[in-house]
Structures are given as structure tokens and as C-alpha cells.
């Protein structure tokens, strides 16, 4: 079954076309990586999928249902969880409260029923010792983990990760990758935008390359990385 | 013991000002909306209670209980239908719209009730007092202050112990991210204004029972509310109580020196606090 399907999706900001006729499907349980240089339109693509912005043209389907014009909150409840490139926790809420809010509203559930699931998410993301810490006081790694934890708390069928490994040390990155791999092993479909390619390639089964808002490659990660066009685009970036 | 008596009366008066301000603080803390019609909504609430008392012949406290759900619904609709449309990066639209609302409320009340001043009778409670050793205080001011403390405690419990309170704080922190967590900011804001209108109803009860009011009484209440909120620190509920008390004490001390100085003393206290601590005594981003 296809979890996410984009059909000829385009978006412009003024005269700048940031998403140009993008089409791809993501089957259930697959991990898809998205790469591309800065400004290629990767985060915009996520914003289109989550409903932060609406496309000028094209169709976005989630589990076969057309959600192109649905607001962000409806898409969360339909099963999309997202982490941000720059962590955006609710600063004044504790770590646990961040998860509670996400779980309660993301799943349209009662708060008291979400306490145990949130505690489990905290445990698996290594944040249990920080449960009562104010989110605004966390370190970068902890914030990244909170981004992941909060997205998981919404009970997603499709998890969107936006450069979650960026800025972490190698050890921190490895630990985070292990967590993501475990989540994926449970059957959660993942789309992961990342510049840390070795981390990305250790998880994803398919790779999509964006450049100037266009899809210029989609397929097996090894084949994609071997292609000349992709290497040219990434010239100067360590592969 | 005139000095102690003056201070106590000032503190109790501060409770009333804190009630004026709590709703304003709540709404500002959550959605950064400055409601210029806040004072007029308090006066509207007082008229509503007056009508309920007159029509049903019930005690003002019971009348306030009847008025509360009406005010709650009014607040929800006002935010959902009107004020949500004004929110955004530009602070001017909500100011203009609530200023217009203030004018509309004042004129509607003037048309409906005339310019005559009104008062809600509390009967024997108006003159009842208790002897607290060195000072004697009125029961009604005491109940007003206790109500203010209960309102602040209640709002803090709501903010920090309930799901809707967490949604208030999350939406206040980051509206876009909140919507990506499944929160509907428009509904959260409507609920916040509805809750603020419950507080407005309580403020209206004590405004109407402790002083005369008329359709043009709102803007002065708005100024006291503003001063209390700013002294306390924008968005801080306990700070709002402290702000109310500072204005109340300043006014009673000013009045003790010269009765003409009462209102002026409150404004001077506000300016002094603003000079020393421009962000207020307890500035916060959230609602605490």
C-alpha cells in the first residue's frame, strides 16, 4: 500500500519555483532519503506534505486520500509526524508536556490515556531522565531527540525527519541512527532529509535527489550516489 | 492605626483591579492580543448581571452564575468570528477592531440603559465588616480579594494541570508548530477568550456591587487593568495580582494624603514601576 503519493506538485514563491512538478510514491514501511544542495526545496517539500503551505498545483495523497487542501492539524491526525531541521520545542513546557500535547492533540485522545505511551516514547528516545526539564534548557542533542520523540508521540504512520543528524558529534549521530533504525524496524514509514549521508544511507532503502525544486534522481541509494549528475551537484560536499 | 488600615484597604482594592486585569493578562499571554474593549466587556457583564437580578429577582452571586455561561459563549464567538481574523504579524488590526468594539459596546449600553449610573445591590453585605484586631475591613472587599486570589490560583491550575492549559501554553509558544501537533489555534484562542470572559463576569460582579457604573465606565477600568498587567509583567498572572495590589495601595495612600490624589497616585506608582522595571516585576513569555 502507498502511504504517501505526490503527483505533479509545484510551488512558487513569487517568481522562484521552489517545487517543480514533483511526483513520487512512498510504499508503506519504506524509508526514503531525500538529498540535495541547500536551497533545493527539501524543507519546502516537507512543508507541502505537512500542510504548512499549500501547493500551487498537483495532488498530495495520504493513504490514498487526497489531503492537498487539508490543514496541517488534519494531516497530523491522519498520521504524519514531523521533526524540524531547527528544533522547535515548546520552550516553556517540560519535555514530558511537549510529548503530552503532541500525543493528546495529534491522536485526538484523552490526556490521561497518553501518559503511558509518552513515557514509553521518552524511554526509547533516551529522554526519560529529562522528562521534567524545561524544553528550552535542553542541549542540541536533547532537542533533536525531543523533536523525534514529539513526532513519535503523535503516533505517526509516516515520519518526516528534517536534518535530524545535523550538528551532532559522530557518537551522538550513531546513537540517533540506532533509534531511527529501531523505529523503522517496527514498520513506521520514514522520509528523511539529511546531509549526513553515511547516517542516511545506513537507514534508507531508496534515495530521492532534489535540485532547484526538481526530482533529478530516485532509486537505489548506491546507484543514485554513483550517478555523475548527483556527484556534480554534491561537488564540494563530502560523500 | 490609620497607616495599617490604609494599606489593608489598598491591598483589598488591589484584588478588584487584579480581577479587572486577569482576563486581559490571560488573553495577552496566550495570543498577544491587546483587547481595548476589555473594560467595556466588564461593564457589559455588570449590566448583564443587573438585568438577571432585576428579571429573576435573585442574589447577585446567583445572577453572576447565570451570566457566566452567556459571557463564556459570547467570548468564544467573539474570538472565533471576529478577533481570530485580526491576529497576525501586524498588531494594528486587533487594536483597531477592539477599539471599534469598545465604541459599539458603549453606545449599545447607552441606547439600552441610558447614561444613568447603576449599582447592583448586595443588601446587608454592602455594609458588613469584620474586626481583624488592629483593622476593620469590609466583608465585600474581603470577598473580592479572596475571589481574585482564587481566580489566579484557578487560572494557574488550568494552565499547568490540564490538557487545555498545556494547549494554551504550547500555542502561545509557537502557533505553527502547535498546529503541526494537531492543535487548532483558532479553537484554542476562542477557548482562552471564553475563559477570560468568565473572569470578566467575576470582575463585573464586584464592579457592579462595589461602585456605580455607567456605559462609559469601561475605558477607566481598562486603564487600571493595563497598569496592573504591565506592573506585574505581561502574561504573568501572579504578577497581575501584585500589580493590582500596587495600584490599590498607591491609590488608598494617595487618597489618605489628599482625596483628590487617589487616581493620580495609582498612575504615578505605575510610571515609577515602569521607570525602574520597564518589563514589569515578573515578566514572562507564558501565562504563569
* Interface predicted TM-score (ipTM) of this complex, two decimals: 0.82
Does B232 fall in a domain?
no
Other Cβ atoms closer than 10 A to A202: 15
Residue B165 lies in a domain: yes
- The DSSP bridge pattern shows strands A2-13 and A57-62 to be antiparallel
Domain boundary among A155, A173, A194: A155
Same domain, A94 and A66: no
Inter-chain CB proximity B181 and A91 less than 8 Å: no
Residue B288 is given by DSSP the state: -
- Structurally, chain B folds into a number of domains equal to 1
Question: Is the same domain home to A135 and A187?
Answer: no
Interface A-B, measured as beta-carbon pairs within 8 A, has a size of 69
**Domain ranges, residue A220:** 1-79+158-239
Q: Alpha-carbon distance A144 to A167, whole Å?
A: 10
Domain membership flag for residue B197: yes
- Predicted pLDDT at B127: 87
Does residue B203 form part of some domain? yes
Q: With contact defined as beta carbons under 8 Å apart, do A194 and A228 qualify?
A: no
Q: What are phi and psi of B35, to 5 degrees?
A: -95, 100
Q: Which residues contact A51 (CB under 8 A, 6 or more apart)?
A: A67, A70, A71, A72, A73, A74, A75
The pLDDT value recorded for residue A237 is: 54
Are residues A65 and A178 located together in one domain of the fold?
Answer: yes
B1: pLDDT strictly greater than 60: no
CB contact under 8 A, B179 and A73: yes
For chain A, what is the domain count? 2
Q: B18 CA to chain A: closest CA distance, Å?
A: 24
Set of chain B residues whose Cβ sits within 8 Å of the Cβ of A91:
173, 285
Query: Is the per-residue pLDDT at B79 higher than 70?
Result: yes
Domain end among A127, A155, A183: A155
- Is B205 a domain residue? yes
**In this structure, are residues A158 and A26 in contact, taking their beta carbons and an 8 Å threshold?**
yes
pLDDT tens readout for residues B177-224: 998 898 999 999 999 999 999 999 999 999 999 989 999 999 999 999
Integer Cα distance of A92 and A12 in angstroms:
35
Q: How far is CA A77 from CA A113, A157, A158, in A?
A: 16, 10, 11
- The CATH number of whichever domain residue A60 belongs to comes to 3.40.50.300
Calculate how close chain A gets to B183, using CA atoms only, in Å: 6
Give the residues of chain A that fall short of pLDDT 50. 239
B286 confidence band (pLDDT: 50, 70, 90): very low
User: From the candidates B164, B182, B283, which should be mutated to test the interface with A, based on the most A CB atoms within 10 A?
Assistant: B182
Q: Pick A105's closest partner by Cβ from B174, B181, B285.
A: B181
Q: CA of A49 to nearest chain B CA: how many angstroms apart? A: 11
Q: Strand ranges (DSSP E) for chain A?
A: 2-13, 16-27, 31-35, 57-62, 65-66, 80-82, 158-162, 189-193, 206-211, 214-219
Three-state DSSP state, A51: coil
Residues A163 and A239 in one domain: yes
Q: Among A163-167, B16-20, B33-37, whose mean pLDDT is lowest?
A: A163-167
Chain B positions in Cβ-Cβ contact with residue A90 (cut-off 8 Å): 169-170, 173-174, 177-178
Helix (H, G, I), strand (E, B) or coil at A58: strand
Whether B288 shows a pLDDT value over 80: the answer reads no
Q: Which of A53, A73, A91, A147 to mutate to test the interface with B (most CBs of B within 10 A)?
A: A73
d(CA B253, CA A72): 54
Q: Does the beta-carbon distance from A97 to B177 stay under 8 Å?
A: no
Pairwise CB contact (< 8 Å): A101 & B173: no
Q: Which residues of B touch A82 (CB under 8 A)?
A: 180
Could you say which of A106, A127, A155 is where a domain stops?
A155
Quick: pLDDT tens for B203-214.
Answer: 999 999 998 999
Of B169, B181, B184, the CB nearest to A102: B181
Looking at the structure, tell me whether residues A124 and A213 fall in a common domain: no
CB contact under 8 A, B286 and A92: yes
Examine residue B122 and state whether it is found in any structural domain, yes or no: no
Judge: B163–A111 Cβ closer than 8 Å, yes or no: yes
Q: Which residues contact A214 (CB under 8 A, 6 or more apart)?
A: A20, A21, A22
Same-domain check for residues A107 and A168: no
Parent domain of B170 = 2-112+136-217
In angstroms, rounded to a whole number, what is the distance separating the alpha carbons of residues A51 and A73? 8
In a domain, B234, yes or no: no
Amino acid at each position: 500500500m502507498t502511504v504517501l503519493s505526490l503527483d505533479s506538485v509545484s510551488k512558487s514563491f513569487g517568481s522562484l519555483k521552489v517545487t517543480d512538478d514533483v511526483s513520487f510514491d512512498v510504499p508503506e514501511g519504506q524509508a526514503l532519503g531525500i538529498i540535495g544542495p541547500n536551497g533545493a526545496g527539501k524543507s519546502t517539500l516537507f512543508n507541502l506534505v505537512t500542510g504548512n503551505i499549500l501547493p500551487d498545483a498537483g495532488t498530495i495523497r495520504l493513504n490514498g486520500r487526497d489531503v492537498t487542501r487539508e490543514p496541517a492539524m488534519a494531516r497530523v491526525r491522519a498520521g504524519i509526524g514531523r521533526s524540524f531541521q531547527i528544533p522547535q520545542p515548546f520552550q516553556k513546557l517540560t519535555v514530558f508536556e511537549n510529548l503530552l500535547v503532541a500525543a493528546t492533540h495529534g491522536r485526538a485522545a484523552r490526556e490521561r490515556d497518553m501518559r503511558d505511551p509518552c513515557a514509553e516514547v521518552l524511554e526509547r528516545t533516551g529522554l526519560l531522565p529529562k522528562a521534567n526539564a524545561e524544553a528550552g534548557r535542553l542541549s542540541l542533542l536533547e532537542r533533536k531527540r525531543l523533536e523525534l520523540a514529539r513526532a513519535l508521540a503523535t503516533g505517526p504512520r509516516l515520519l518526516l525527519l528534517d536534518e535530524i543528524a545535523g550538528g551532532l558529534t559522530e557518537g551522538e549521530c550513531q546513537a540517533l541512527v540506532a533509534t531511527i533504525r529501531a523505529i523503522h524496524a517496527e514498520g513506521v514509514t520514514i522520509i528523511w532529509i539529511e546531509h549526513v549521508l553515511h547516517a542516511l544511507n545506513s537507514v534508507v532503502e531508496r534515495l530521492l535527489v532534489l535540485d532547484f525544486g526538481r526530482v533529478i534522481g530516485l532509486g537505489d541509494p548506491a546507484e543514485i550516489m554513483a550517478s555523475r549528475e548527483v556527484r556534480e551537484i554534491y561537488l564540494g560536499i563530502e560523500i | 492605626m490609620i497607616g495599617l488600615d490604609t494599606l489593608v484597604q489598598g491591598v483589598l482594592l488591589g484584588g478588584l483591579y487584579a480581577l479587572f486585569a486577569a482576563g486581559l493578562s490571560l488573553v495577552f499571554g496566550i495570543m498577544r492580543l491587546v483587547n481595548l474593549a476589555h473594560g467595556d466587556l466588564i461593564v457589559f457583564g455588570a449590566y448583564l448581571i443587573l438585568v438577571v437580578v432585576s428579571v429573576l429577582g435573585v442574589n447577585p452571586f446567583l445572577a453572576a452564575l447565570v451570566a457566566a455561561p452567556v459571557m463564556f459563549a459570547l467570548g468564544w464567538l467573539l474570538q472565533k468570528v471576529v478577533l481570530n481574523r485580526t491576529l497576525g504579524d501586524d498588531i494594528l488590526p486587533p487594536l483597531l477592531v477592539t477599539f471599534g468594539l469598545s465604541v459599539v459596546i458603549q453606545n449599545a449600553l447607552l441606547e439600552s440603559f441610558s447614561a444613568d449610573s447603576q449599582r447592583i445591590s448586595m443588601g446587608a453585605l454592602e455594609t458588613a465588616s469584620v474586626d481583624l484586631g488592629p483593622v476593620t475591613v469590609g466583608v465585600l472587599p474581603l470577598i473580592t480579594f479572596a475571589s481574585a486570589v482564587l481566580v489566579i490560583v484557578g487560572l494557574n491550575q488550568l494552565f499547568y494541570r490540564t490538557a487545555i492549559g498545556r494547549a494554551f501554553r504550547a500555542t502561545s509558544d509557537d502557533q505553527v508548530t502547535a498546529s503541526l501537533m494537531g492543535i487548532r489555534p483558532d479553537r484554542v484562542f476562542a477557548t482562552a477568550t471564553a475563559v477570560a470572559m468568565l473572569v470578566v463576569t467575576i470582575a463585573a460582579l464586584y464592579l457592579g456591587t462595589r461602585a456605580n457604573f455607567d456605559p462609559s465606565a469601561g475605558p477607566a477600568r481598562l486603564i487600571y487593568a493595563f497598569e496592573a498587567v504591565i506592573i506585574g509583567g505581561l502574561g504573568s498572572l501572579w504578577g497581575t495580582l501584585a500589580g493590582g495590589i500596587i495600584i490599590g495601595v498607591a491609590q488608598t495612600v494617595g487618597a489618605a494624603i489628599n482625596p483628590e490624589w487617589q487616581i493620580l497616585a495609582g498612575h504615578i506608582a505605575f510610571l515609577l514601576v515602569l521607570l525602574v522595571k520597564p518589563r514589569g516585576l515578573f515578566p514572562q513569555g507564558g501565562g504563569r
